[in-house]
Amino acid sequence: MKHIRSTGGCSGTGRSCARSPAMWIPSRNSLCKIIPFILLAFGTFLLGDAAAAQGKASSFHVIALAEHGGIHKPFVDAAKVWLGKLASENNFTVDYIEDTEKIDEAFLAKYNLFLQLNYPPYMWTETAKAAFIKYIEEGRGGWIGFHHATLLGEFDGYQIWPWFQQFMGGVRFKNYIATFVSGSVTVEDKNHPAMKDVASPFLIDKEEWYTYDTDPRPNVHVLASVDEKTYTPSTDIKMGDHPVIWTNEHYKARNIYIFMGHRPEHFDNPAFTKIFRNSIFWAAGK
């Protein structure tokens, strides 16, 4: 072992220097012995940390059937950004498809939650319909549908899907407010997990509120409804009793339909994003 002392602090010839505390300087042989152990320990730490990160399994998996064009594309694009952040922060995954070609039982078995991001209840393959029906009726996963999911009727040369019509409470699309109006939405079941911490009433700005040929309330559990007296500007296109968020408890799968979903600006609305977030974790069973 070598010892050195500082040569600083001498003030003149013949005067003694103040000694600094002894310092240990490892020899070359000592360094050669120590460095490999330091590198090994550091490498083991890094590898262990990386393995832990890679081994952390996602808590659940979501498949989103999303419209890929048309007037609803801006909403879908905004949803993808919002969902990406939420998924990253909460350790779940979201995959996207733009048609139903891939959907069968094996495909749906990989997912805990099915999001219908404005994709309508038509243009589905027969295989996809059968797999989806089983997924919902047997409770193999949860479902959240937005806006276009109640576009039930004869559209684009397709006939109405009777099973999906019953799933949505027996409604058929009748009309919509093409000029867009704002409306006040009242939470009817504040105890439902999807409505947790959602202020009531809350404003939905500039929506094209759908009307249906019948009120779904007798066939579903209504979570929220819009007060048509608050429409701004006023319009004659009204239903009277007008549910806009509901769940159909006649099916085993946890399911929620949320009418709002035309404009990307909804993702700036705290009430809307809170309902969406709550619905994801409830419908996925988390």
Positive or negative, the Cα torsion across 72, 73, 78, 83?
A: positive
Report d(CA 62, CA 60) in Å as an integer.
7
The band of 55, judged by pLDDT with boundaries at 50, 70 and 90, is very low
In the structure, what pLDDT confidence band is assigned to residue 19 with cuts at 50, 70 and 90? very low
Residue 131 contacts residue 78 (beta carbons within 8 Å)? no
pLDDT tops 80 at residue 213: yes
In whole angstroms, how far apart are CA 47 and each of 40, 91, 124?
10, 21, 46
Q: Which amino acid is at 243?
A: P
Does position 54 have pLDDT exceeding 90, yes or no? Answer: no
Question: What's the pLDDT band for 58 if we cut at 50, 70, 90?
Answer: confident
On average, the pLDDT of the chain sits at 86
Indicate the pTM of the whole model.
0.81
Q: Which pLDDT value is given to residue 146?
A: 98
Asked if the model's pLDDT at residue 143 lies above 60, the reply is yes
pLDDT grade, residue 202 (50/70/90)?
very high
- Per-residue pLDDT reduced to its tens digit, 82-103: 999 999 999 999 999 999 999 9
- pLDDT tens per residue, range 118-136: 999 999 999 999 999 999 9
Cross-sheet strand order for the sheet of 93-97: 93-97, 61-66, 113-117, 142-146, 255-258, 243-247, 221-232, 181-187, 202-207
Q: Is the pLDDT of residue 208 over 70?
A: yes
Which of 175, 128, 183 is closest to 150 using CA atoms? Answer: 175
